[in-house]
Amino acid sequence: MITTEYDGCGKCMVAVRRLSRKTDATSSPERQADQVVDAVVSIGGHIIAWADDWEVSGATDPLTRPALGPWLRDEMGPYSGIVGASVDRVGRNQRDVLNTAYAIHESGRLLVTYGHDGPWDLDDPQDEMRLTMEAFGAQMELRAIQKRNRDETKRARAAGQPKHKPSYGYMYVRLVPTGKVDHVEIDPVAAEIIRDVAERILTDETGTVTFATEAARLTRARVPSPSDRRAEMYGREPSGKPWSPKSVRSILTSEAALGYLMHKDRPVIGADGHPVRLAPPLWDRATRDQLLAKAAPRPKGTRAPRGVRLLAGLAFCGTCGRRLYVSGRPGVYSWGCNGRFLGIPASQDCKPGPTMMIPNMDKRVEDWFLAEYGAHQLMRREYDPGTGYTARINELEADRRRLRDDRNAGLYDADDDAVWYRDQYTRIGREISELKKLPERPAGMRTVPTGKTVEDMWRAAPDDAARRGLLTEFEVRVTLFPTTVENRLRMNGVTS
């Protein structure tokens, strides 16, 4: 949008636009821009900047909005006032609008909106009352919108239809653009990514593959985060937001990954007493139970290394036994021991502390590792969920417990509800009994060949953090001694 420089004329305006949904045709960005320009021209002013808040609810305090907030907090430089297409573009909460208007007025700045003759004058009782009424009308409209949304959410939940954004790994299918969701399908791109993450975490026995390390790995590999993946699917520009350990944990442990319709982080229960399923699951309940076990709190002192160095967490001092740390400056980084410098009692005799340039040390460890293990055929551990009967039994027992808890809470006390409760409870119990009669292959880990050697995987690894995973699998430990010791760099692994 066209802007001009701030010149101190007293009418250097910041143009304000806001939309809860950018596709809203009734107050589109173009329509708002035209109205804003008309309002600025009517007071003989000019626009020095545009504060556009897209996908921002009218209930958001203007002070906290991403684009407008910094101007109101005087973080963006001098300006003479703000101009918007209407009062509800400033906000839909009456208190927030009035607080913003008075803050602007008291700072000696102007508040201008399209359709109002000149700037708002809060010293004029009539102007003050009109602004108050327009802000009240905007709030009334907001409350009506919120009630419609709540009612629609309740209706969709009762009908077993999705209402909110899809969970990662799934996508909504619409028969016409911007139309209602027809059905839910697995997103093949996201599903492949998150299933690989689940497999890596489940098969890890070293404790070095965690939600945090996987979030870092996905970010390094530039895999779009969940919000960026949704942006891609809906034709919006990704923001480049990184993955977070919390989002990885949430996706892997949520029952949404079982394809259920969710409400407040719990599956919605249908008329048959079972959770409403919208789409095929990304994995079964047994796999989710294993992921929940992996999400349990870890013992102290077992934090997985998150750095990208090849030997992070694997290199130790040969004198005092402490892990080595990185020191130096760009281009001349070294591994070294800082135990004596930190005053660690066990390191008081660590003098001189051993050091070695990182590229030199990495190269020597790489040469040793490939010579020792490079020709080995690499095996991959996979999680086998088994026949799935136990998982289905666990799912049915969870449904039965949920019914029992609801009954104990006072639900189903009416005669017709009691009959329905007994029928569902009996049916679930019968299905559990039939499943228990079937032969079960228990879930567990299995080892399968990859058809590749260790050296193949080493060469194909995208970065040193991935190569470090191979070192960890073979329990490689690197020990560095001072220069006075012969054979000062020693490497050991599972068979060496």
Give the mean model confidence (pLDDT) for residues 88-110. Answer: 92
Q: How confident is the model at residue 82 (pLDDT cuts 50, 70, 90)?
A: very high
Alpha-carbon distance of 63 to 16, in angstroms, equals 13
pLDDT score recorded for residue 133: 94
Alpha-carbon distance of 236 to 466, in angstroms, equals 31
- Is position 4 within any domain? no
Domain that holds residue 188: 162-300
**Which domain-ending residue is among 78, 109, 142?**
142
Alpha-carbon distance of 481 to 466, in angstroms, equals 26
37 and 93 inside one domain:
yes
- Is position 106 within any domain? yes
- Is position 367 within any domain? yes
pLDDT score recorded for residue 399: 83
480 and 350 inside one domain:
yes
277 and 203 inside one domain:
yes
Q: How many domains does the chain have?
A: 4
pLDDT in tens, 12-64: 999 999 988 655 555 688 889 999 999 999 999 999 999 999 888 888 899 99
56 and 137 inside one domain:
yes
199 and 241 inside one domain:
yes
150-166 CB burial, b ≥16 within 10 A, e <16: eeeeeebbeeebbeeeb
Alpha-carbon distance of 89 to 287, in angstroms, equals 48
277 and 171 inside one domain:
yes
**Closest C-alpha to 16, from 101, 84, 71:** 84
- Is position 147 within any domain? no
**Closest C-alpha to 195, from 168, 228, 222:** 168
Give the mean model confidence (pLDDT) for residues 71-97. Answer: 92
pTM: 0.59
Q: In the predicted model, what is the mean pLDDT of the chain?
A: 86
Give the mean model confidence (pLDDT) for residues 391-410. Answer: 83
319 and 283 inside one domain:
no
Q: Which residue has the higher pLDDT, 235 or 360?
A: 360
Please check whether residue 310 is in contact with residue 298, taking contact to mean a CB–CB distance below 8 angstroms: no
| Strand 81-84 versus strand 12-19 pairing type | parallel
pLDDT in tens, 331-344: 788 999 888 888 88
Give the mean model confidence (pLDDT) for residues 67-89. Answer: 93
- Is position 153 within any domain? no
- Is position 305 within any domain? no
SS3 412: coil
**Which domain-ending residue is among 97, 113, 142?**
142
136 and 210 inside one domain:
no
Token pair for 78: 């001098």
Give the mean model confidence (pLDDT) for residues 434-440. Answer: 87
- Is position 406 within any domain? yes
Residue 251 belongs to domain with CATH number: 3.90.1750.20
169 and 56 inside one domain:
no
Alpha-carbon distance of 343 to 365, in angstroms, equals 29
Q: Which residue has the higher pLDDT, 153 or 323?
A: 323
Residue 116 belongs to domain with CATH number: 3.40.50.1390
288 and 349 inside one domain:
no
**Which domain-ending residue is among 252, 277, 300?**
300
51 and 138 inside one domain:
yes
Distances in Å between the Cα of 16 and the Cα atoms of 72, 88, 101, 337 are 11, 11, 13, 56
401 and 347 inside one domain:
no
